[in-house]
Amino acid sequence: MAFCTVINCMDGRVQLPVIAYLQRRCNAEYVDSITEPGPIKILAEGRDRARVDSIMSRLDLSMRCHGSSSVAVVAHHDCGGNPVPRTEQEEQLARTLAYIRDRYPDLTVIGLWVDEDWRVEEVA
């Protein structure tokens, strides 16, 4: 069984498109989902250590228990937990990806954007 992991917003509109994309992209049967409202803001800012630690411990669990070797981090249009323009979300996404890559240098880390039509685009 092949697994990958996604750090995604809790917004239900983005779940299925992202899962379908990652199953194809990562050749994974299963996608472990770590959800928070506006996770890229949480990870990019790093101020709420309890939430950052919670997200990262769930990523550790996915890697350890399911052998996940790829993680995607998602930003999306109309995010209620992080209601800022796409350009700002992409800056947050870049900082988040750098943080995860620094912590897990052997992990494949990709950044995704989900647009207003719920299409998934790989942006990093």
Q: How many helices (H) and strands (E) does the chain have?
A: 4, 5
This prediction has a pTM of 0.97
Q: What is the CATH number of the domain that holds 18?
A: 3.40.1050.10
Structural domain of 56: 3-122
Q: How far apart, in whole angstroms, are the C-alpha atoms of residue 68 and residue 107? A: 9
Polymer length in residues for the chain: 124
What's the number of domains the chain is made of? Answer: 1
1 close to 28: Cβ distance less than 8 angstroms: no
Please report, in tens digits, the pLDDT of each residue of the chain (124 residues total). 799 999 999 999 999 999 999 999 999 999 999 999 999 999 999 999 999 999 999 999 999 999 999 999 999 999 999 999 999 999 999 999 999 999 999 999 999 999 999 999 999 9
Q: How far apart, in whole angstroms, are the C-alpha atoms of residue 42 and residue 45? A: 6
